[in-house]
Chain A
Amino acid sequence: MSAIHLEHLAKRFGGFTALKAMDLRIEDGEFMALLGPSGCGKSTTMNMIAGMETPSEGRILFGDRDMAGVPMARRGVGFVFQNYAIFTHMTVRQNLSYGLRMTGRPKSEVERRTLDMAEFLQLTPLLDRRADRLSVNILQRVAIGRSAVMEPAIFLLDEPLSNVDAAFRAVMRTELKQLQRQFRQTMVYVTHDQLEAMTMADRIAVMDHGVLQQVGRPIDVYNDPANTFVAAFIGSPGMNLLRGRPVRTDRGLAVDLGVLGVTPPLAAPQARAAEQARGEVIYGFRPEQTTLAREGIASPVSFVERIGARSIVHLGDGPAVFKAVFENDVPAAVGDVVRVLPHADAVRLFDAQTGKAL
Chain B
Amino acid sequence: MTLADAPLAPPVPPTPAEDGARLGFRLTLPAQVLVLFIAVFPLLMQLYISLTDWSPLAGVAWPRAWEFWNGFANYSDLAQDGRLWAALGRTALVMAVCVPVEFLLGLSLAMLFVDEFPGKRVAYSILIMPMMVVPAVAGYMFFMLFQSGGPVNGLLGTLLGRDIAVAWLSDPTLALVAVMIADIWQWTPLMFLILLAGLVGVPQDQMRAATLLGASAWQRFRTIALPRMKTIMIIALAIRVIENFKIFDTLYIMTGGGPGVATETISVYIYEVTTQDLIWGYVAAIALAILVILSVAAVWAMKRMGRAAA
Query: Chain A interface (Cβ within 8 Å of chain B)?
Result: 50, 52, 72-73, 75, 77-79, 81, 83, 85-89, 98-99, 102-103, 146-147, 150
Contacts and interface: CB of A to CB of B under 8 A. Distances in A.
B176 to A, nearest CB: 41
B42 interface: no
Given A52-B208, A85-B208, A73 B215 contact: yes
B213 A98 contact: yes
Contact of A50 (B203, B212, B224): B212
B86 to A, nearest CB: 45
Kindly name the residue among B209, B210, B224 whose own CB sees the greatest number of chain A CB atoms within 10 A.
B209
Interface in B202-254: 203, 205-206, 208-216, 219, 223-224, 227-228
A103 B224 contact: no
Nearest to A77: B212
Contacts of B224: 87
Contacts of A75: 212
A87 B214 contact: no
A228 to B, nearest CB: 36
Report the 8 A-B pairs with minimum CB-CB distance, sorted nearest first. A99-B213, A85-B205, A85-B209, A102-B215, A103-B214, A79-B212, A89-B227, A85-B206
5 contacts: A73-B214, A79-B212, A81-B209, A87-B206, A103-B214
A102 B220 CA distance: 9
Nearest to A99: B213
Contacts of A87: 206, 209-210, 223-224
A279 B279 CA distance: 107
Contact of B215 (A50, A88, A98, A147): A98
* Residues of B contacting A: mostly: helix
A122 B189 CA distance: 49
Given A87-B223, A98-B215, 16 more contacts: A50-B212, A72-B211, A73-B212, A77-B212, A79-B208, A79-B212, A81-B208, A85-B205, A88-B206, A98-B213, A99-B213, A102-B210, A102-B223, A103-B214, A147-B212, A150-B214
- Of A77, A99, A146, most buried by chain B (CB within 10 Å of CB) is A99
A96 to B, nearest CB: 11
Contacts of B213: 98-99, 102-103, 146-147, 150
Contacts of A103: 213-214
Interface residues of B, number: 17
A16 B209 CA distance: 27
Nearest to A82: B205
Interface in B249-271: none
A55 B239 CA distance: 45
Contact of A102 (B203, B205, B219, B228): B219
A102 B216 contact: yes
Contacts of B203: 85
Nearest to A146: B213
A73 B211 contact: yes
B211 A98 contact: no
A128 to B, nearest CB: 17
A185 to B, nearest CB: 14
Nearest to B215: A102
Contact of B205 (A77, A83, A99): A83
B177 to A, nearest CB: 40
Contacts of A146: 209, 213
Contacts of B205: 81, 83, 85
Contacts of A83: 205
Contacts of A86: 206
Nearest to A80: B209
Nearest to A156: B212
A48 to B, nearest CB: 14
B212 A72 contact: yes
A75 B216 CA distance: 14
Contacts of B228: 89
Q: Which residue, of B211, B216, B219, B228, has the highest number of chain A Cβ atoms within 10 A?
A: B211
Contacts of A78: 212
Nearest to B213: A99
A52 B223 CA distance: 20
Interface string B181-218: 00000000000000000000001011011111111100
Contacts of B215: 73, 98-99, 102
A14 to B, nearest CB: 14
B232 to A, nearest CB: 14
